[in-house]
A = this chain, B = another copy of it.
Amino acid sequence: MLKTTTKLLVTTALIAGITTAASAADKVKWKLATTWGSTLTPFIDAPTNMASLVETMSDGKFTIRVDAANKHKAALGILDMVKGGQYEMGHSASYYWKGKDIDTLPFTTMPFGMTTPEQYAWFYYGGGMELMKKAYAKHGVLSFPGGNTGNQMGGWFRKEINTVADLQGLKMRVPGFAGEVMAKLGLSVTNIAPGELYTSLERGTIDALEWVGPGMDISMGFHKIAPYYYTGWHEPATELQFLVNEKSFEKLPKDYQQILLTAMRVSAYDMYIQNYDMSAKAWSTMLTEFPDIKVKTFPKDVMDAMKKANADLLEEVKKESPIVKEVLESQEAYQKQARKWTEMSDFLYLKDNL
C-alpha cells in the first residue's frame, strides 16, 4: 500500500464502528459551526469551499450548512458544540482549546516552529495525524488540518524595538502562546475585539498588535497608523482546524467519508495558497500607497530573549501532560531534520534570487 494512500484513504480502523451504514443514495444533511464571521476571507472560504465540494461530488445528496459566528454566537464554543453533537462539524483553531485541554495546543503552530511545508509533512508523513487523533480521542471528536495562513507577521508597532528593555511595559495585543512569551519578557499583554483594534492602536491604548499578514491586515488599516512592521517569529505556519463528531462520521457510508476527507484536505491546502496570493498582492498595494512602512526584524538580543522565554515555557507545558510532551517532542525532532532540507533547498535558492 502506498504511503499517501494509507494516509488519505478511509481505513478500516476508521470505519470499524459502522454496523448499519446508510446507503450512499441516502440524503445526509449536516451543519458546521465556524469561529469566523461570514466575511472573514480566507478563513471562512475553507469551510465554505469544502461544503461546496462535498455537495457537488455527492451529486447534491450530502450537504453541509455553514453557520458563521454571527449566527451561532459561540465563536469559541466550537469544540463543545461538535463534542455535544449540536453541530456535526466545526471550523476553528486547535490552540483555542488549550485552556480546556493542553494536549490540543501544538496542532496550530508554535513560536520558532515549523514552516508550512514542514508542518504538513509532519502531519501527513511524520506522525502528526496519528498524534492529533490520540489527543482528540477523549473528546469523541476527529480533528483535521483546516487551512494554513503561512508565516504570520510579528505585528505593527508604533515605536522601533532596539533592545529587550524597549519591550518592558509595552501594551500589546497578542494572543495564544506567543502572548505568554511576550508577557514573560515584561510586556503588558491584552486581548481586544477585532472591531476595536484600530481605534485602540490609534489612540495609544495599545502600542502594538499582531494580526495575520498583509493579505488580512490591509483591510484593518494598521499600516496607516503604526509604521514598523515586524517580521514573524511566533506563528510560522498557523493551521486552522476542521472538527468532526466521531459518531456522526462513523454513520456515513464509506464513499461519503472519503468525499468529506478529500474535500477537507484540499480546502486546507487551497487556503494556504489563497492567502499566499492575497498577501503578495496586498503587500504590493501597501507599499505603493504607504511607501514609508518600515519592515523590521527584531534584533538578535531581543530574538534570543524570546527564544529563551519560549523554551522555558515549553518545558513547563511538557510537565502538564504526557500527550502534549509526546507531541511537542515529535515536532521538535521532525523540525530539526526537515529544517536542514529547507535550508539546502528553498532558503539557499532564495538567498541568490531576491
Q: Which residue of B lies closest to A214 (CB)?
A: B341
Instruction: Determine the distance from Cα of A115 to Cα of B291 in the docked complex, in whole angstroms.
Output: 26
Q: Tell whether, in the assembled complex, residue B258 and residue A345 are in contact, meaning their CB atoms are under 8 Å apart.
A: no
Instruction: Determine the distance from Cα of A76 to Cα of B234 in the docked complex, in whole angstroms.
Output: 47
A346 interface residue (CB < 8 Å to B):
yes
Contacts of A120 in B (CB 8 A): 273, 276
Q: Tell whether, in the assembled complex, residue A4 and residue B270 are in contact, meaning their CB atoms are under 8 Å apart.
A: yes
Contacts of A24 in B (CB 8 A): 59
Q: Tell whether, in the assembled complex, residue B49 and residue A280 are in contact, meaning their CB atoms are under 8 Å apart.
A: no
Q: Which residue of B lies closest to A272 (CB)?
A: B117
A135 to chain B, nearest CB (A): 21
Q: Tell whether, in the assembled complex, residue A340 and residue B284 are in contact, meaning their CB atoms are under 8 Å apart.
A: yes
Take A233-B349, A262-B57, A339-B354 as given contacts and tell me if A49 and B274 are in contact as well, using a CB distance cutoff of 8 Å: no
A136 interface residue (CB < 8 Å to B):
no
Query: Please, how many residues of chain A have a CB less than 8 angstroms from a CB on the other chain?
Result: 86
Q: Tell whether, in the assembled complex, residue B276 and residue A56 are in contact, meaning their CB atoms are under 8 Å apart.
A: no
Q: Tell whether, in the assembled complex, residue B347 and residue A354 are in contact, meaning their CB atoms are under 8 Å apart.
A: yes
Take A272-B117, A273-B117, A274-B125 as given contacts and tell me if A262 and B349 are in contact as well, using a CB distance cutoff of 8 Å: no
Q: Tell whether, in the assembled complex, residue A346 and residue B274 are in contact, meaning their CB atoms are under 8 Å apart.
A: no
Q: Tell whether, in the assembled complex, residue B231 and residue A345 are in contact, meaning their CB atoms are under 8 Å apart.
A: yes
Which of A5-13, A95-103, A319-327 contacts its partner? Answer: A5-13
Q: Which 3 A-B pairs have the closest CB atoms?
A: A125-B277, A151-B345, A59-B255
A330 interface residue (CB < 8 Å to B):
no
Take A8-B266, A266-B262 as given contacts and tell me if A279 and B151 are in contact as well, using a CB distance cutoff of 8 Å: no
Q: Tell whether, in the assembled complex, residue B258 and residue A48 are in contact, meaning their CB atoms are under 8 Å apart.
A: no
A interface list, Cβ under 8 A from B: 2-5, 8-10, 24, 41-42, 45, 48-49, 52-53, 56-59, 112, 115-118, 120-121, 124-126, 150-151, 153, 213-214, 231-233, 236, 253-255, 258-259, 262-263, 265-267, 269-274, 276-281, 283-284, 287, 295, 297, 300, 303, 334, 337-354
Q: Tell whether, in the assembled complex, residue B52 and residue A5 are in contact, meaning their CB atoms are under 8 Å apart.
A: yes
Give chain A's interface secondary structure class: helix
Instruction: Determine the distance from Cα of A255 to Cα of B339 in the docked complex, in whole angstroms.
Output: 41
Contacts of A56 in B (CB 8 A): 9-10, 254-255, 258
Contacts of A10 in B (CB 8 A): 56
Contacts of A153 in B (CB 8 A): 344-345
Q: Which residue of B lies closest to A229 (CB)?
A: B344
A264 to chain B, nearest CB (A): 10
A304 to chain B, nearest CB (A): 10
Instruction: Determine the distance from Cα of A347 to Cα of B348 in the docked complex, in whole angstroms.
Output: 9
Instruction: Determine the distance from Cα of A224 to Cα of B253 in the docked complex, in whole angstroms.
Output: 51
Q: Tell whether, in the assembled complex, residue B280 and residue A337 are in contact, meaning their CB atoms are under 8 Å apart.
A: yes
Q: Tell whether, in the assembled complex, residue B126 and residue A277 are in contact, meaning their CB atoms are under 8 Å apart.
A: yes
Take A266-B262, A346-B151 as given contacts and tell me if A338 and B124 are in contact as well, using a CB distance cutoff of 8 Å: no
Q: Which residue of B lies closest to A334 (CB)?
A: B280
Take A231-B345, A266-B269, A346-B151 as given contacts and tell me if A49 and B353 are in contact as well, using a CB distance cutoff of 8 Å: no
